[in-house]
Each structure stands twice: as C-alpha cells, then as structure tokens.
Structure 1
Amino acid sequence: MNYRRLGNSGLRISEIGLGSWLTYGTAVERETAKECVYKAYDLGINFFDTANAYNRGAAEAVVGEALKSYPRDSYVLATKVYFPMGDGPNDRGLSRKHIMEQCEASLKRLGTDYIDLYQCHRYDTSVPLEETLRALDDLVTQGKVLYAGISEWSAAQIVDAVRLGRQMNLHPIISNQPIYNMLVRYIEKEVLPISEREGLGQVVFSPLAQGILTGKYKPGHPVPSGTRAANDETNQWIKSYLRDDVLNRVQQLEDLAIDMGISLSQLALAWVLRQPGVSSAIIGASRPAQIEENAKAVEVRLTDEILRQIDGILEEINDFVPIW
C-alpha cells in the first residue's frame, strides 16, 4: 500500500480507503463487514470512512467494533455530520448544537475517545459559517477531533471557509470528500484547483461509480441478480448510470483494461489516483476479495498514451451527472 499526505496536513492516509456507505449496517451482514475491515487492515489500508447517517449509526457501530482489534494509533478513522438523525428541528444540519451532540454520539458508537477526521457531510446554508467552523475548532481544541474536513462543498464555499478560518485563527480544514470517477468529473474544473491552492486533499467517494466501473453491468443485458442495482434498498443512486450510452463506453474501458492485463476496477482506481490532489479513493466492498483486488490498483501506472485512450472513450460523456 502507498500513502499520501492529506492536503497540507501531516496526516498520511492509504491511497485506497474503505468506506461503509450502503454496505455496513445495511446490505452486508455484520460479520462479513468486519471481515472486510480485517482484510483492508491486513493489506495496509489505514483510512476507514463512515458517517453517522449511514443507517442511522449502524455503520459506525460495525466499523468501530471491527477496528477495536487494532491499536488506535495505527489507523485513521473518519466520520461525518449533517444529515438528519432524528425528527426534531435540531436533529440535523451544522449548528453548534447538532455538531457537538453528534460528535459525542459518534464517539460512543465508534467506541473511541477521538475521531481523526470529522467531516461536514454537506454545506448548511441555514447556519452561519462562523458557527460551524467555531464548533469544529472547539472539538479539535478539546481533543475529540484531530482534523476537520468537508464533503461535497463547492469551490466558492471552500474558499469562504478557508478565508474565514484564517481570519478567526482556527484550525484549518484539511480535506474535501466529493464524488469523483471516470464518469463524474465535475471537481476537475474548480474544486480540485481551488483545494490544491488552499491546502485541502480530496478523499473521493464512489470511484467505481457504484460498481458500474467493475464491468458487471453490460449494455443490452438485464441487471444481474444479487448486485447493488438489483436491490431496491440500495439502487436509487445507481439507476442513472444504467444507460446503454454509458455502459457501451464502460465496455470499451474494460477492453482496454484487459489489454493491459488488469481489471476494470483497477484501471478506474488508478485513473482517479493519477490526480495529485487526490489523497485517497474510498471503495465500498461486500466481500474481502473485492478489497484485495482493488488494493492492487496502487501498483498500476498509466502512461500518457493510455490516458489519451481513456479520454477518447470518455469524451462524449464528460458532462454526465448521475442522481446520487
């Protein structure tokens, strides 16, 4: 496994991270989920990402239980706050009240004294940015959080947060967690260059486009049974990818990967990691074998010629935006 600094911080995380969205605490049985965490750790993956909103805390509980087997200082644990965790008016968002209360709740579910990376899951237009940043800074000062990050904030929102944080002399935000893969590239226009300028690293989610970039879905063929797309509980974000124009190009990418002697998922992950502003690509897995295959992507180096071929295949769908 290779490791990269997270933005301008001194924190080093594995190029492949393990996430728990739509899997742990939801679609994957508890013991299988723990086996996936064990396999990831054995392969050198030290970055584990979850969120309080993933099945209302169930994913945090599974991840925390699995990681208890290892020394706390040997891994980087990330979670998030923003989405509703109850029906009350203060059970959501980025108010000081919600951030503080949910941090305590996450610590209990995770079974730890501190969170390495605490991320604002989305931007909250209803709360003053100063209030949100001050709450995060206080958590860092208290030692309950080591670093603060964000997820899916726009370039303008990132700039505002960085500048206000400097004015207030707060601990800096060090990361952003956006969607990024061969089919969804919006961050390349503004978010990536702004983040690199301001010192934020990207820990990207859905690098395999919900499994589309594994090659399991074929143009003109029915959705395979047992896959995420066949599960009505988890397929709401994948449906928009299931178009023949998208799947035809995915087939071309798979043919290219086969010619290179690697899997399509390894090609897709190596493509994401070609970006110097990306610190880690967060994969999801329902079986340990998937993690073992994906982790090999860190060994793949893409030549300029291969990148040109990929750009040619993707040219007509660069503006594709899925529902997620």
Structure 2
Amino acid sequence: MELRRFGSTGLSVAPLGLGSVNFSWLTDEPTSFQILDSAFERGVNLLDTSDNYNAGRSEALIGRWFAQGGGRREKTVLATKVYSAPMEWGSPDPVRRTGSWVGPNQKGLSAKHIREACEGSLKRLGTDYVDLYQMHHIDRAARWEEIWQAMEVLVAQGKVLYVGSSNFAGWHIAQAQEAARARNFLGLVSEQSVYNLTKRTVELEVLPAARAYGMAFLPYSPLAAGALGGKPEGNDRGRRAYARKDDNVEAYEALCDRIGQSPADVALAWLASRPGVTAPIVGPRTLAQFEANLAAVELRLDDEVAGELDRIFPGPGGPAPEAYAW
C-alpha cells in the first residue's frame, strides 16, 4: 500500500485510516482485535479514536491491543481526541446515551480539561504519548492563547507529538493557525471532517484552508452513515440510513450496478481520490468490511464515472469565494 505524507509533517501514513467508534460497542473485543491485527499486518498505520467513544471503552480496548506488544504501539500513528469527556452511563448500553458529564469543567478546551483529558486518554491507551491529539470541536468559550498554551505544555512534556482539529470551519482553522504562528508553535497539522458524496460542504472553505496551511485532511463517514453502502446487514443504524435513501441514492446504486462495483467501494474510492484528502477514516464493524475497505481504496474510477457522480451528487461549486462570487 502506497504511503502518503501526513500534510507537511515528516509522518507517512497509509491512504486509509482505521476508526474505532464501533470497538467495544457494535464490535466485540475479539473481532476488534482481528480488525486491528489485519490493519497492522497490511500497513494501515493510522488508528483514530476518541476519549468519548463508548465512554472511553474504545481507548481502553486499544490499550489492551497495544499491550500484546510486537511493535503494535511503535508502528501505529495513534490519534485521539479531546473535547467531550467520557461519561458515566446510567446504563451499560452506551447507545442509550443516558449518562451525565462527570463534572462541569470536564468538557471543552479549557487548559484544565485538556490536561486532565490527555492524562485520562494516556492511561486508558496504556501509552506515554499520543501521536496526534485532535480537538474534537471548536470551543467558542476558550481563547486560543489558553488552548495553545495547554497544548504547548503537553508537547514539551512529550505526551503529544502533533495537534489536529476536527469539525472546524475554515475560519476556525485560520484563527488557530495564525494564533499558533504568533507563538512560534507548529499549530494544527490535520483536520478531520465529515465528507462524502452526499456531504460536500467542506469543499467550499475547509479543504482549501487545510491545503493552504499544509494540513492533512481526514474525512470521516465516507458511506454517509450507511446510506451509500448498499443494503446493510444487521446494523440498525445502517438500516435506518438506508431506509431514508432518496432518488439520488437510487441513481447512484444504479450507476454502481452498471459498472459492476459495490456502492460502498465506489463511495470510498471516490473519496480517497479527492484532491487534498490524505486518508479516509473507516469504522468497520467486521473483518470482512475492513478487508473490503482495503480493496476499495485501490479502485480507480474513470473520468466518465466521476462526472456522473458529480451529476448525481453535485458539490457546492468549488472553493469559496469562487463558488458564490467572482
């Protein structure tokens, strides 16, 4: 698998990232370990998680996988996130979302929460550093001076190597980068946003901002929560998304059928080939799904198919301001 530069950093990653949102929830531990082992063996080295995935259970599962040794931690580019703390659940089933925040300052991007959240993630992950520490959302109540000071401390302590963002607008990226530049700090090296054939808003401002600042771009939800994956098997969330499919999705499935490729493969292949995209983040529930994802990123769509996809799912018209001004 051909590696890609991670933005303007010296890191190299595979053109596919493994997301862990289903680990310890829809995917049990043995199956999660199978997927992780397959990724490790096939050279998929970017592993994405978050402290609030399944109340911290996903991070803890990854920590147990790292503990098996064999270079698992050293060869992994480990990415986790900070903003929403793990919750205390009123039910053992995390999908019910019946829990409450542990405390009023255990969310957001205050210096206090950044420090405590990082320590918690390191403990659950069983490691002494995170390669990429991503701000999961913008915090409008925290000044960039406070955020960057907290991140600088973590970098100086060796607990964080790089800082990234997730779900930021183009304006937020510019604010963050200029504030970091004023402090002679590296700033954001990546942005992770929702991006797929049905949601192309990032093409307006976010992707251009990331490219202008030399950032890696990591799209998540490549199958639009299952709507682009064809008829799903077993997963209630996927079945609900598929049931809501519209005429565009039906036209898309007809196109996929005509070219002899599965809808999931086409959606992922399209995304992996988009300008500025470093590595789509996939969240497989099964080993078979992950192996299909691996094959899909190697698929090349010709210009005719790409043009038809643009007609079915038109984007916003290019980058801003050209998309809506002259």
Q: Does the pair score TM above 0.5?
A: yes
Q: Deviation per CA, 1:141-161, whole angstroms, max 9, x where unpaired?
A: 211111100100111110010
1:254 Cα offset (Å):
2.7
Is 1:267 matched up with 2:266? yes
1:291 Cα offset (Å):
0.6
Partner amino acid, structure 2, of 1:260: I
Report the equivalent of 1:305. Answer: 304
Partner amino acid, structure 2, of 1:47: L
Is 1:197 matched up with 2:196? no
1:176 Cα offset (Å):
0.5
Contact 1:183 1:317 in 2 (8 A): no
Instruction: Name the structure, 1 or 2, with higher relative contact order (CA <8 Å, separation 6+).
Output: 1
Consecutive unaligned residues in structure 2, runs of 5 or more: 87-100, 318-326
> How many angstroms apart in 1 are the aligned matches of 2:220 and 2:243?
19
Q: Secondary structure at the match of 2:80?
A: strand
> How many angstroms apart in 2 are the aligned matches of 1:249 and 1:47?
32
Q: Secondary structure at the match of 1:158?
A: helix
Report the equivalent of 2:138. Answer: 123
Report the equivalent of 1:169. Answer: 184
Report the equivalent of 1:136. Answer: 151
> How many angstroms apart in 1 are the aligned matches of 2:273 and 2:127?
34
Partner amino acid, structure 1, of 2:39: A
Contact 1:2 1:298 in 2 (8 A): no
Partner amino acid, structure 1, of 2:3: Y
Identity of aligned residues (%): 41
Q: Deviation per CA, 1:284-315, whole angstroms, max 9, x where unpaired?
A: 11110111111112211222211111111123
Aligned with residue 90 of structure 1, among 81, 88, 105:
105
> How many angstroms apart in 2 are the aligned matches of 1:273 and 1:74?
22
Q: Secondary structure at the match of 1:124?
A: coil
> How many angstroms apart in 1 are the aligned matches of 2:81 and 2:219?
14
1:316 Cα offset (Å):
9.3
Contact 2:85 2:117 in 1 (8 A): no
Consecutive unaligned residues in structure 1, runs of 5 or more: 218-223, 232-237, 319-324
1:261 Cα offset (Å):
3.4
> How many angstroms apart in 2 are the aligned matches of 1:147 and 1:84?
20
Number of residue pairs matched by the alignment: 301
Contact 2:272 2:279 in 1 (8 A): yes
Report the equivalent of 1:234. Answer: none
Contact 2:203 2:316 in 1 (8 A): no
Report the equivalent of 1:109. Answer: 124
Report the equivalent of 1:285. Answer: 284
1:45 Cα offset (Å):
0.8
CA RMSD of aligned residues (A): 2.0
Distance 1:40 1:254, change over 3 A: farther
1:250 Cα offset (Å):
2.2
1:63 Cα offset (Å):
1.7
> How many angstroms apart in 2 are the aligned matches of 1:35 and 1:57?
20
Report the equivalent of 1:182. Answer: 197
